[in-house]
């Protein structure tokens, strides 16, 4: 197996996630796209760890998974609060601070 196989797969996932963050309206769907980006990073970490015969890549992948869990928890709480206050979770409507 080539290292590049995994790196390119991660690049595709990352760019799909970037498109999702930019183009989605629904707050929950934006969070899903962020998960795609985080998973792309994790594939890179584990692939480089395996390439260098080092467990550090896996350790950092585990850290990223923990951070992702925290991020989703807080993110969904924010989306829920947004829904309670405005009856909509359309991220394009949140423009109170737009000049």
Partner 1 sequence: MVAENIAFYLIAAVMVVAAIRVVTTRNIVHAALYLVLVLAGVAAQYILLAAEFVAVTQVLVYIGAIVVLFLFGIMLTRAPTGPMDDSDNEQRIVGASIAVVLLGLMSYTLWRAFKGAQFVDLQVQTTAQVANSIFSTYVIPFEIISVVLLAALIGAIVLARRD
Nearest distance from C-beta of residue 64 to partner 1, angstroms:
10
Interface with partner 1 (CB under 8 A), residue total 69
**In the window 27-86, what residues touch partner 1 (CB under 8 A)?**
27-29, 31-33, 35-36, 39, 42-43, 46-47, 49-51, 53, 55-59, 61-63, 65-74, 76-81, 83
| Min CB(37)–partner 1 separation in Å | 11
Q: Which long-range contacts (CB under 8 A, 24 or more apart) does 25-34 make?
A: 25/90, 25/91, 25/92, 26/89, 26/90, 26/91, 27/78, 27/79, 27/82, 27/89, 27/90, 27/91, 28/76, 28/79, 28/89, 30/91, 31/72, 31/75, 31/76, 31/79, 34/71, 34/75
Closest approach of partner 1 to the CB of residue 98, in Å? 15
Nearer to partner 1 (CB atom), residue 22 or residue 97: 22
Min CB(15)–partner 1 separation in Å:
4
């Amino acid at each position: 197996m080539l290292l590049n196989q995994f790196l390119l797969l991660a690049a595709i996932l990352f760019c799909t996630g970037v498109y999702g963050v930019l183009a989605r309206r629904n707050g929950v769907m934006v969070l899903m796209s962020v998960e795609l980006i985080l998973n792309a990073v994790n594939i890179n970490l584990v692939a480089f760890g395996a390439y260098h015969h080092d467990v550090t890549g896996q350790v950092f992948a585990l850290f990223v998974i923990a951070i992702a869990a925290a991020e989703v928890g807080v993110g969904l709480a924010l989306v829920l609060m947004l829904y309670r206050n405005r009856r909509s979770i359309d991220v394009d409507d949140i423009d109170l601070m737009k000049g």
